[in-house]
Chain A
Amino acid sequence: MSGFFLYNLNNIVQIAVLLYLSYRNLRNLQQKGPWVPAVLFMFILVTLLATGFYWVTHELMTGTSLYAFSAMDIGEIGIFLLLSALLGASFKEPLSRDLPALAAALFFAAGNALLWGAWNGHWAQDIASGLFLWVLVYTLIRGLKRTGSLSRPVWSAFGIGSAGIFALQTAAFMTGSTFGKIFDFASEVIWFAGIVYLMLRVIRILRQDLPDEGLIGLACAASTWIVCTMYMSSNPYYIIADLCNTITFVLLLLVLERKWGETV
């Protein structure tokens, strides 16, 4: 039993944090202010809680691997969509169509989905997740472009970084053991560099109270980048990314509370 708890410690910590965030979000909902983002965030938290709890319970009760399109997969797709809706709801004017953004999002989502499929062999569910990731990334790119939250060099760095990750992961998949580990480690460095940049950016804006309309977009981008890191990583990188994901949801709540304060 103690082994089980150690193995699932990150999940248990995440559930505890999410329960607190849900309580705080509910308290916010009782007050005046924009209720649409708060309810959308509540849905995200409930889905995260349900999937986290499902995973721990499934491990505890059966110890077997999950079937394709289990509650975990459905929940992950749901989170992609709810994050898109949350981001879309934060803009007064609807986001306009943007072909380059659509192509860039397709490149990112397809690259991820193909590599997930290659690594785990669950092609159907990975392609389905990839399609919904495409929706989210397309919304994120348009939102961040509108608010101008990322400078041109940063956009380029993320583009080159993504291409680099796909190349390194493909090389790791093809070469196998010794070289594969080196390529895998190199791709993890790029993933975590992206995580650190996005999280520090959100924390900096929050702490120094800097104006930024795209704060929700940055927090959602951090969460999306972390989820993609998790899907393409094994332990211990997976656990570290999962803990970063928990922190990102704390940041997302703080971002929403700040927005909330501006509106009231």
Chain B
Amino acid sequence: MIYSENILICIAAPLLIAAIFLRGEARRFAVFFTVGMVICLLSAYISGFLEFAGMMEADKIPLYVSPVVEESMKVLPLIFVLLVIQPPEEGLFLGSVALGTGFATFENCCYILTAGSENLTYILVRGLAVGVMHLVCVLMVILGTILARRTRTFSLAAFVGALSTAMCYHSLYNLLVSQPGVTSIIGYVMPLFTVGVLTVPYRRIRKEI
């Protein structure tokens, strides 16, 4: 058993203190990175509660519950920022990337503390597959948010539609890696491949904003 809250305090404390001395984008990155870690912990609480409440068998939680809970939780800070601060699109990108990276980092820390860090293959998989998958999902949602801003009257449809895409993608990843074999290898490669694909709309949107 690990004490995730203690790990969070240990990693977040220097980041938050550093944020006092930072300005502009660097500060935004540090804050969103920390928020991403907090969101990861809260998502684990909710998924754990649902498992404890006997809603589903433990092996089904990562396939059905975690993707929905985690993606919905990641969206909450972005909605708050959108409604309260209304940042420019460039700022939204930066915030979402930091949030996704923070989420993935904290999850990786907890897994490594549980399973150990001796196996380099396992560490690479955690870093390049799961870590990147969380980033990809947040980027999908943020692309959807930017689309929602552009489509105006159908903003909710575009936003929730993009969120559904991220949930679907996350579920597929969890399903693929749930058993060893060819499917898990496809699952591990999928996030890096998707990053390559996402760079095309990202570059295009960067030109426009």
The interface of chain A, by Cβ under 8 A from chain B, is 22, 26, 29-30, 35-36, 38-40, 42-43, 46-47, 50-51, 53-54, 57-58, 60-61, 67, 69-71, 74-75, 77-79, 81-82, 84-85, 88-89, 94-95, 135, 139
Contacts of A74 in B (CB 8 A): 68, 164, 167-168, 171
Q: In the complex, which of the residues B154, B179, B204 has the most CB atoms of chain A within 10 Å of its own CB atom?
A: B154
| A78-B164 in contact (CB<8A) | yes
Contacts of A88 in B (CB 8 A): 151, 153-154, 157
Instruction: Select which of A26, A78, A95 is within 8 A of B168 by beta carbon.
Output: A78
| A61-B178 in contact (CB<8A) | yes
| A39-B143 in contact (CB<8A) | yes
The answer to the question of B201 belonging to the interface, with a C-beta cut-off of 8 Å to chain A, is yes
| A71-B56 in contact (CB<8A) | no
The answer to the question of B120 belonging to the interface, with a C-beta cut-off of 8 Å to chain A, is no
Knowing A61-B178, A85-B157 are in contact, say whether A69-B68 is a contact too (CB < 8 A).
Answer: yes
Q: How far is the CA of A51 from the CA of B175 in the complex (A)?
A: 12
Q: Mark B133-173, 1 if CB is under 8 A from A, else 0.
A: 00000001001100110111110011011111101110110
| B151-A50 in contact (CB<8A) | no
Contacts of B151 in A (CB 8 A): 36, 40, 85, 88-89
| A50-B169 in contact (CB<8A) | yes
| B200-A89 in contact (CB<8A) | no
Contacts of B154 in A (CB 8 A): 84-85, 88-89, 139
| A70-B158 in contact (CB<8A) | no
| B164-A57 in contact (CB<8A) | no
Distance in Å: Cβ of A22 to nearest Cβ of chain B: 8
Distance in Å: Cβ of A38 to nearest Cβ of chain B: 8
| B179-A61 in contact (CB<8A) | yes
Contacts of A29 in B (CB 8 A): 200-201, 204
Q: How far is the CA of A95 from the CA of B161 in the complex (A)?
A: 19
Distance in Å: Cβ of B192 to nearest Cβ of chain A: 16
Q: How far is the CA of A214 from the CA of B197 in the complex (A)?
A: 30
Q: In the complex, which of the residues B160, B168, B171, B183 has the most CB atoms of chain A within 10 Å of its own CB atom?
A: B168
Chain B residues within 8 Å of chain A by Cβ, number: 41
Distance in Å: Cβ of B207 to nearest Cβ of chain A: 9
Query: Which chain B residue lies CB-closest to A87?
Result: B154
* 13 A-B residue pairs with CB within 8 Å: A22-B197, A26-B200, A30-B203, A35-B208, A36-B150, A50-B169, A60-B183, A61-B179, A71-B167, A75-B164, A78-B162, A82-B164, A94-B152
Among residues 12 to 65 in chain B, which have CB atoms less than 8 Å away from a CB atom of chain A? 56, 60, 63-64
Contacts of A67 in B (CB 8 A): 56, 60, 64
Q: How far is the CA of A88 from the CA of B169 in the complex (A)?
A: 25
Contacts of B183 in A (CB 8 A): 57, 60-61
| B171-A71 in contact (CB<8A) | yes
Q: In the complex, which of the residues A53, A82, A139 has the most CB atoms of chain B within 10 Å of its own CB atom?
A: A82
Contacts of A79 in B (CB 8 A): 161
Knowing A57-B175, A67-B64, A69-B64 are in contact, say whether A50-B165 is a contact too (CB < 8 A).
Answer: yes
Q: How far is the CA of A94 from the CA of B140 in the complex (A)?
A: 25
Distance in Å: Cβ of B188 to nearest Cβ of chain A: 14
The answer to the question of B100 belonging to the interface, with a C-beta cut-off of 8 Å to chain A, is no
Q: In the complex, which of the residues B160, B178, B179, B208 has the most CB atoms of chain A within 10 Å of its own CB atom?
A: B160
Q: How far is the CA of A70 from the CA of B67 in the complex (A)?
A: 10
Q: How far is the CA of A78 from the CA of B166 in the complex (A)?
A: 10
